[in-house]
Amino acid sequence: MKKKPIDVNEYAGVITKALERGVLLTAKEGDKLNSMVIGWGHIGRIWELPVFTAYVRDNRYTRKMLDANPEFTVNVPLGPMDRRIFTVCGTRSGRDLDKIREAGLTPVEPETISVPGLLECPLTLECKVIYREEQSLSRLPQEIQRRFYSVEPFDHISYYGQILAAYLLEA
């Protein structure tokens, strides 16, 4: 497997656009991997560092994993994605099954962290959490609370991940 290093600034637009359709965030705790679909995130610079900020609901299994091992990969599809991958990773919990196996995902050895990339989503960001912040629903405007939190009223946690490596996976 070849990894072609990329400049995250040159791919920021691609990553931001992909978030509209959904990308995968992968976490690892011990020997267990878990990927979830995310549609909210930011890529940019803070504290003079390249950072990807991911938002994970407090009740998610991925949150537990990120708190135990503060590293994650952002896995971005560049072409058509097998809908089964998004169905499994976006509607099922890693508490209940091995989503990597169930979705037919292929882990790829990471460069700098313990969490692998995914062959099926070749644009990979390896991130180490440098800051996390719990958000409070009570501080959000009522319209946002009604629109995004009426069915699942759980706070999000913001994970600021310093991007330590960025590359395209090439077979």
Res. 154: pLDDT tops 80: no
Compute φ and ψ for 7, nearest 5 degrees.
Answer: -90, 115
CA distance linking residue 135 with residue 55, whole number of Å: 9
To which CATH superfamily is domain 2-170 assigned? Electron Transport, Fmn-binding Protein; Chain A (2.30.110.10)
Type of residue found at 26: T
For 25-74, write each residue's pLDDT tens digit: 999 999 999 999 999 899 999 999 999 999 998 888 999 999 999 999 99
What is the mean pLDDT of the segment spanning 160-169? 97
pLDDT for residue 44: 96
Phi first, then psi, for residue 119 (nearest 5°) are: -55, -40
**Mean pLDDT of the 142-159 span:** 81
User: Containing H/E element for 96?
Assistant: none
Q: Give the mean model confidence (pLDDT) for residues 2-7.
A: 96
Is pLDDT of 153 > 70? no
Helices marked H in the chain — which ranges? 8-21, 61-68, 83-91, 99-103, 142-149
pLDDT value for 148:
79
Other C-beta atoms within 10 Å of 58: how many? 12
Q: Give the model confidence (pLDDT) of 60-107 as tens digits.
A: 899 999 999 999 999 999 988 788 998 999 888 888 899 999 999 999
Ramachandran quadrant class, 63 (left: phi over 0; alpha: psi -120 to 50; beta: rest) = alpha
Structural domain spans, the chain: 2-170
* Predicted confidence (pLDDT) per residue in 117-136, tens digit: 999 999 999 999 999 998 88
8 Å CB contact between 117 and 111: no
CA atoms 75, 76, 82, 83: torsion sign: positive
pLDDT of residue 146: 84
